[in-house]
Amino acid sequence: MNHLNFKMRNVFLFILLFLSAAAAQNLKTKNNPAPLIPMPDSVEWLKGKFLLSDQTNFTCQPGKLQSYFVDRVNELIGINLKANTRSQARSRIIFNIDGSLIGRGKEFYSLSVSENKIEITALTEEGLFRGSQTLFQLISPSAKSKKDGSPVDITCCKIIDKPKFKWRGLNLDCARHFMSKDFIKRYIDIISYYKMNVLHLHLTDDQGWRIEIKKYPKLTQIGAWRKEADGSTYEGFYTQDDIKEIVAYAQSRFVTIVPEIEMPGHCLAALASYPENSCTGGPFEVINKWGVFDDVYCAGKDSTFIFLESILDEVIKLFPGKYIHIGGDEVPKDRWSKCPRCQARIKAEGLKDEEGLQSYFVKRISNYLNLKGKEVIGWDEILQGGLADGAIVESWQGMNGAALAAKQKHYTISSTYAYTYLSSDVENLDLRIAYSFEPVPKDIPNDQTKFVMGGEASLWTEETLQNEVDGKLFPRLLALSEVFWCAAGKKDYDEFHSRVQNSYEDLKALGIQYGQEAKAISFSTSYDELKKEFIVNVTPGQKEIDIRYTLDGSEPNLSSLSYIGPIEATDQTELKIYAFLNGSFTGKKIELSFEDNKAIKAKLSLANRYNDMYMACGENTLIDGIRGSNDFHDGLWQGFNGVDFEGVIDLGSEKAISEVSPRFLQDMKAWIFMPASVEIALSNDGVNYFRKKIIENNIPQNDSLVVLKDFQASFNNDKARYIKVIGRGIKKCPPWHTGAGQDAWLFIDEIEVK
Ligand code: ACM
Ligand code: ZN
């Protein structure tokens, strides 16, 4: 995703944050003995308890499910079940296959817990497996933490359940940052626990090729390595043996692994290894930056297709599942438009343009895979220029791709980034928004809803290392697991939210290092004119957040003052407020300094409106006496895009002015530049201005650091009621900048008046 797109997403997410609302009907789960997620279709809690112990007998058809269940019970709580002994055990677990359930679907199960018997009944082993996960969720977190094999109580109940969607996926980007084989296996267990059944592995991208291909060894000898900007090396790939192990592990847990081999774009790691498959011939490097890059596979050379088909031959052998994902997203057409071979292909095939060539590319690969018995999935860009026969569309840019696919009778998977990209900051995509996702596009005819296979969550890892994955995915993945499993009309956010609160102990017991549900802390400020004090109110985003603060500019830690009520601050205070979750710092640092601004209770009018993404606290944020830190995201800086800053402060009556000092921020890498100059003038009537001062900028535009500058104007205690401040922005990013010619930003916080 490029910078601009990233910003547009933020606007959209920001709006969503306010629009998202909890859905209709109530799932009554008061006094819930276990916070089941996703919530089953029907749950009836009964009196009494079943005692699970080493003496419990387990009856199940011998096979992979039997050994899985015995092993997993042991792994979770340390109990050794006796499988299929003939004893007249008083406590029994029975797994039944029942052919008469044929109309209920292969994932349907019923689970009945009585005082001496637990019975799971389903049409298939897959159904039994889903039911066994509900049983695991009925076991207390303390038993899972102890794992000492001591007997465990399970509350009696009757549960009947089946999923709404057949595709309940998680996409892990192990290309940008690699995830080890054992970590992937751990995630297979984690997602199955929440009844998700697809693990999509994004195995190749510009920044790394992560799967061994025997015919093309350079793909991993060269493509699995990159040199980072600091000179260090980043590497990692799965051998074919690793893949076999992962696939077998997933099979025994009824999870389908979907490999994604990206084409025709996002392929610099492959082109660095085999540059002959590009339009220009290279050379290329496995890139260490994030974004969308111009060099893609050459669609004009038959040898490119032979290369990719040979790779896919090996991929097909490794992944027995029905589906192969071929990416297809974000393909710049610059190289194709200049490449004689690509142009010759367009002509020879009678294609309309480069979009037609993209469609040709996807269709050619798709046909190849279909002949090998595989179904093809691509991101929604594969709609461009016409869909390949039978291709499944994974709709990420919105719901439109899903609606268009369904209309053309193509299957589709809903992965709208605004709701399902858990790589997004929790400030923009919180638990509530994730829960409000609905995989079926609104307003599609009823007879087309069957084409919506389900949904998928994604974790893109540009900003995430393996040890940070849990914190990104959880607890938000809980919301999506329920969205994918439960019928839309049954969702109730408040009820779900209370189950999530009761699930944290279980997550801890499972070793999941979950992160935030929502923005860690919000704050608001007011000013007490009599006491000349600022009052800062802080609200945690979730119950478990521990708020600590200091008043002297030192870094808060777990021994610092604990927030219990409004904080009083003066112009001497340097307030730092940090959030901690499970003993670790989380969220964004709040760092506030205060000043005795003469304009605090004044009125500020703006000639050009700030951008809604960076509105800070709205109208009076620039004269509230609180200064922003050097992080333009801190909620105190106001951003203006492509326009000047022009504001007039009305002090209400004439006051003696000795200094006016607006502060601007430059963060060139984020397209934010100092104004070229700042003009400050005073007035008594708001019409005629005097004592005009112009302060020129002296900060170089190409300074790579974040810089704050006060454009200070001194006055001689001149009496004035109105103060005008104009920051003349550079408007467009300079020619040498990555954003050359596009709108530049101007960021301002606090116009200090003395
Ligand atoms: C994507 O986010 N480019 C699929
Ligand atoms: Zn070409």
Core vs surface per residue 235-246: b (16+ CB within 10 A) or e: ebbbeeebbebb
266 Cα nearest atom in ligand 1: 3
The residue behind tokens 């696939």 is 247
15 pLDDT above the threshold of 50: no
Q: What is the mean pLDDT of residues 239-261?
A: 98
Percentage, residues of the chain above pLDDT 90? 87
**Opening angle at CA 162, ends 158 and 166, nearest 5:** 160
Indicate which atom in ligand 1 lies nearest the CA of residue 327.
Answer: 4
Whether ligand 1 lies within 6 angstroms of the CB of 421 is answered as no
Instruction: Note if the bond before 283 is cis, omega within 30 degrees.
Output: yes
Coil, strand, or helix at residue 58? strand
Q: Residue 249, Cβ neighbours under 10 Å: how many?
A: 18
Q: Which of 107, 125, 161, 205 is catalytic?
A: 205
User: In angstroms, how far is CA 380 from the centroid of its own chain?
Assistant: 18
What is the pLDDT averaged over residues 707-719?
Answer: 96
Nearest residue CA, atom 3 of ligand 1?
Answer: 329
Q: Where are the alpha helices (DSSP H) in 408-501?
A: 417-420, 431-435, 469-473, 476-485, 493-501
Q: Tokens 């094999």, residue?
A: 149
Report, as an integer, the average pLDDT of 622-633: 89
Which residue's alpha carbon is nearest to atom 2 within ligand 1? 396
Is 462's C-beta closer than 6 angstroms to any atom of ligand 1?
A: no
| Ligand 1 pocket, residue 329 CB under 6 Å | yes
Q: What is the pTM of this model?
A: 0.87
How far, in Å, is the centroid of ligand 2 from the Cα of 401? Answer: 27
pLDDT tens readout for residues 314-357:
999 999 999 999 999 999 999 999 999 999 999 999 999 999 99
The pLDDT value recorded for residue 332 is 96
Cα 301 to averaged position of ligand 2 atoms, centre (Å): 7
Q: Active-site residue among 189, 309, 330, 644? A: 330
Question: Quick one: pLDDT at residue 87?
Answer: 63
> Which ligand does the CA of 300 lie closest to?
2
Listed in sequence order, the residues at least 6 apart from 269 whose beta carbon sits closer than 8 Å to its beta carbon are 175, 204, 205, 206, 207, 208, 209, 219, 222, 223, 224, 226, 286
Question: How high is the pLDDT of residue 347?
Answer: 98
Nearest ligand, measured from the Cα of 420: 1
Calculate how far, in angstroms, residue 333's C-alpha sits from the geometric centre of ligand 1: 17
Q: Is residue 46 scored above 80 in pLDDT?
A: yes
Q: What integer pLDDT is reported at residue 239 of this predicted model?
A: 98
pLDDT band at 287 (very low <50, low <70, confident <90, very high): very high
Residues 260-285 have pLDDT tens digits of 999 999 999 999 999 999 999 999 99
Ligand number nearest CA of 299 is 2
Q: Which atom of ligand 1 is found nearest the CA of 415? A: 4
Residues 423-474 have pLDDT tens digits of 999 989 999 999 999 999 999 999 999 999 999 999 999 999 999 999 999 9
Mutating to test ligand 1, I would choose from 205, 330, 421 the residue with most ligand atoms within 8 A of its C-beta, which is 330
Residues in the chain: 754
Rounded to the nearest whole angstrom, what is the distance from the C-alpha of residue 53 to the centroid of ligand 1? 47
Does residue 65 carry a pLDDT above 60?
yes
Instruction: Write the residue with the smallest CA distance to atom 1 of ligand 1.
Output: 329
Point out the ligand 1 atom lying closest to the alpha carbon of residue 417: 2
**In the predicted model, what is the mean pLDDT of residues 56-77?**
94
Question: Is 266 considered catalytic here?
Answer: yes
Q: Grade residue 525 by pLDDT with cuts at 50, 70 and 90.
A: confident
Q: Decide: 290 in ligand 1 pocket, CB within 6 A.
A: no
Pocket test of ligand 1: the residue of 396, 421, 422 to mutate, having most ligand atoms within 8 Å of its CB, is 396
Compute the distance from residue 340 Cα to the ligand 2 centre, in Å.
7
Q: Ligand 2 centroid to 236 CA: how many Å?
A: 30
Distance in angstroms (rounded) separating the CA atoms of residues 477 and 481: 6
How far is it, in rounded angstroms, from Cα 740 to Cα 731?
11
Residue 238 has pLDDT above 70, yes or no: yes
- Taking CA 486 as the corner, what is the angle to CA 121 and CA 46, rounded to the nearest 5 degrees? 50
CA of 278 to the centre of ligand 2 (A): 6
Range with the poorest average pLDDT among 60-64, 164-168, 396-400, 551-555? 60-64
Cβ neighbours around 53 below 10 Å, total: 14
Would the pLDDT of 129 be above 90? yes
Q: For ligand 1, pick from 258, 331, 379 the residue to mutate: most ligand atoms within 8 Å of CB.
A: 379
Query: Which band of pLDDT confidence, cut at 50, 70 and 90, is reported for residue 86?
Result: low
Q: Are 199 and 258 in contact (CB under 8 A)?
A: yes
> For residue 379, which atom of ligand 1 is closest to its CA?
4
Q: Which two tokens stand for residue 471?
A: 């914190």
pLDDT band at 601 (very low <50, low <70, confident <90, very high): confident
Ligand 1 touching residue 330 (CB < 6 A): yes
CA-closest candidate to residue 479, choices 19, 137, 39, 31: 39
pLDDT tens sequence across 292-320: 999 999 999 999 999 999 999 999 999 99
What is the separation, in whole angstroms, between the first and last Cα of the chain? Answer: 45
Residues contacting residue 292 through CB under 8 Å, at least 6 positions apart: 1, 2, 265, 266, 330, 332
Does the C-beta of 115 come closer than 6 Å to ligand 1? Answer: no
pLDDT at 29 over 70: no
pLDDT digits (tens, 9 = 90+) for 150-163: 999 999 999 999 99
For ligand 1, what atom is nearest to the CA of residue 1? 3
